[in-house]
Amino acid sequence: MDRTPEARTIVVSGVPQHELDCRRMADKLVIHFQKAKSAGGDVEKIKYPTSIKGVAYITFEEKEVADRVLTVEQLLADKELEKEYPLTVYRFSEEVFCYTHAEVDLSLFSEHEKLVKELRTRNRTVRISPLQANQRVQVEGPFTAIKKLREDLLRLLETSQKEKSVTARDRRRERQSSRAVTPEQGAAPFSSETDASNTEACLIWLDTNVFRYIQHVHKDDFDWILKKHDVQATTQVEGELTGVTLKKSYQGLWQLETAKLEIEQWVSNVQSRLRTETIHYEKDFEEEKFLQACKDVSCGFPRVLFTPVEGHIDIIGNSSDCYLFCQLVEMQMKSPLHDKDRWLSTSPGATDMSYYSTGRTGEPNSLPMTMNSDMHRMPGNNLYSSMHCDSWSER
């Protein structure tokens, strides 16, 4: 039986940060997880605070206790606390060192409360806040768990859209059937609605930033897939999501499904290599300066896309290009001269390997695990997931 400290350790998220001082809160957590009501037992040690806000690491003396507390809903309650706080508890692993915060927009879904409950059940390692008035929730947890949550949301959204599409098509056919005429009555006039019934469509939901990057860098590849399968595509931007509707006549429905699968696999491959960095600015008047700096630096990075968002600018591309892009923008903003020609002459572009040596591993696509950076965006969210890297050590 594995009795290593890691096997006896749990991660606790959702710890209230401003109710008590850190030492007192650590005591409250130890007391809570020693209670029989919490399915707890003797605690060997606790690490709180950690580099991740609202997260504690608790090591029990017995692995069985660590396994047991994972099966119980944990609610932190004490007379010194203003209210009860639900805690998210999951098994310790190295994945916790890549911890992600995100905001998810659920407005495209129906039955929001039911959806949140389902997501909590299916994603136990993700802490999901109560639903807000704007149909958004805050989520946090290991990056791989957030990625799985993203995939769950995409599947649920696609299923919902398919059901709506089938229902609309059945209603259209019912209306057409009710208007059908016999040969003795004469032929029915040709209508655009009847013409539309001769086509089939399917919907693919993509992250808006990813779709913009594809249009910026891989548009020819995307158009080639459409042309190869002889399908047409229309797009509709819904905030952080973009719906791509593929259309094909009934005579070639198999091509429609093939095109959908190929596009999904291709987009997944492109997205797996992308990284989103965020450049923040504090005052509105700084936006123009930052945008100009990004525009100047972008001349040396044809495969990087920068997108202005309220209060910040998203930089999208592969890891090494995004890292260098942000470094050069920062250097240019600190320079008192803002000489465009001088900066362009020093910009390394995507192939100048001399810029990868300082502070890197020597591999251009490697990621320095000591930096805080925004990771992949999630569907249905405005979400910019800040990755925190930590090490397991006692303070």
- pLDDT per position as a tens digit, 94-152: 777 778 778 888 888 888 888 888 888 888 888 888 888 888 888 888 888 888 888 88
DSSP output for 328-386: HHHHHHH-SS--HHHHHHH--TTT-GGGGSTTS-S-TT---TTS-EE----TTB----E
Predicted local confidence at residue 164, as pLDDT: 62
Residues 218-266: pLDDT tens digits? 999 999 998 888 888 999 887 778 888 888 765 566 778 888 889 988 9
Taking only the tens place, the pLDDT of each residue in 18-75 is 889 999 999 999 999 999 999 999 999 999 998 888 899 999 999 999 999 999 889 9
More confident residue, 191 or 126: 126
For residue 243, report the phi and psi dihedrals to the nearest 5 degrees. -90, 125
Q: Give 24-29's long-range contacts (Cβ < 8 A, gap of 24+).
A: 24/80, 26/56, 28/76, 28/78, 28/80, 28/81, 29/56, 29/58, 29/76
Q: How many CB atoms lie within 10 A of CB 393?
A: 6
pLDDT per residue as tens digits for the range 258-291: 888 899 889 888 988 888 888 888 777 788 888 9
Percentage of the chain lying above the pLDDT 70 cut: 73
Q: Average pLDDT, whole number, for the chain?
A: 75
pLDDT of residue 175: 53
What pLDDT does 170 receive?
56
Residue 157 has pLDDT above 90, yes or no: no
pLDDT above 80: residue 191: no
pLDDT at 169: 54
Q: What is the mean pLDDT of residues 72-81?
A: 91
Any idea which of 174-178, 201-205, 342-346 has the lowest mean pLDDT? 342-346
Domains of the chain: 1-92 (3.30.70.330), 96-159 (3.30.1370.10), 195-272 (3.30.1370.10), 275-349 (3.30.1370)
Q: Is the confidence at residue 182, as pLDDT, over 60? A: no
pTM, two decimal places:
0.47
pLDDT greater than 90 at residue 357: no
Whole-number pLDDT of residue 42: 94
Average pLDDT over residues 176-200: 42
Of 21-25, 200-204, 255-259, 371-375, highest mean pLDDT:
21-25
Integer Cα distance of 44 and 62 in angstroms:
9
